[in-house]
């Protein structure tokens, strides 16, 4: 399991908010898997494949745990990826996970969870707006051509 310094997690959170400098920092410091993690959370199959092919199994499990996959969460626990597991639980509405991260001094993971939640809500709102619905209908039609 790869360990990430606080600054990498902080830059990942900034990237989620669209910060170009954070994206560049992640690229320059060889944290492409964190960029792929956001894309995988947003349902990019190629990004998820990148995580698997690159043997970033904890990040792939984190992505699935965010979407309520109990086996993925168990994988995180079994592999002692407790910060990722707590972050996923917090994203899924477990306030105790947030408190545990704060007690452990993992405020960067709390901030990351808030960033991911914000992005998920933003993406959901975009997909349910009139423009988003039309765009999704057009994408759906393209898929079957």
| pLDDT tens digits for range 22-47 | 999 999 999 999 999 999 999 999 99
* pLDDT of amino acid 142: 45
* DSSP symbols for the chain: -----HHHHHHHHHHHTT-HHHHHHHHHTT-HHHHHHHHHHTT-HHHHHHHHHTT-HHHHHHHHHHTT-HHHHHHHHHTT-HHHHHHHHHHTT-HHHHHHHHHTT-HHHHHHHHHHHHHHHHHHHHHHSHHHHHHHHHHHHHHT-
Separation between Cα atoms, residue 74 and residue 129, nearest integer Å: 35
* pLDDT of amino acid 136: 45
* pLDDT of amino acid 114: 96
Backbone angles phi, psi at 21, to 5 degrees: -65, -40
* pLDDT of amino acid 29: 97
pTM score, whole prediction? 0.83
The encoded tokens of residue 86 equal 């707590």
* pLDDT of amino acid 128: 46
Q: Show the CA angle centred on residue 30, arms to residues 28 and 35, nearest 5°.
A: 95
Residue ranges for the chain with pLDDT beneath 50: 127-133, 135-137, 140-145
* pLDDT of amino acid 144: 43
Separation between Cα atoms, residue 43 and residue 82, nearest integer Å: 23
* pLDDT of amino acid 125: 60
């Amino acid at each position: 399991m790869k360990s990430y310094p606080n600054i990498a997690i902080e830059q990942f959170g900034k990237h989620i908010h669209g910060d170009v400098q954070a994206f560049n920092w992640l690229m320059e410091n060889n944290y492409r898997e964190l960029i792929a993690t956001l894309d995988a959370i947003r349902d990019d199959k190629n990004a998820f494949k990148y995580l698997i092919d690159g043997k970033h199994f904890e990040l792939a499990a984190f992505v699935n745990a965010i979407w309520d996959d109990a086996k993925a969460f168990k994988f995180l626990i079994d592999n002692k990826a407790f910060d990722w597991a707590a972050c996923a639980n917090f994203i899924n509405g477990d306030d105790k996970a947030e408190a545990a991260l704060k007690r452990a001094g993992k405020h960067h993971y709390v901030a990351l969870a808030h960033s991911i939640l914000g992005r998920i809500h933003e993406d959901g709102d975009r997909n349910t707006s009139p423009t988003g619905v039309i765009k999704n209908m057009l994408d759906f039609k393209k898929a079957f051509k």
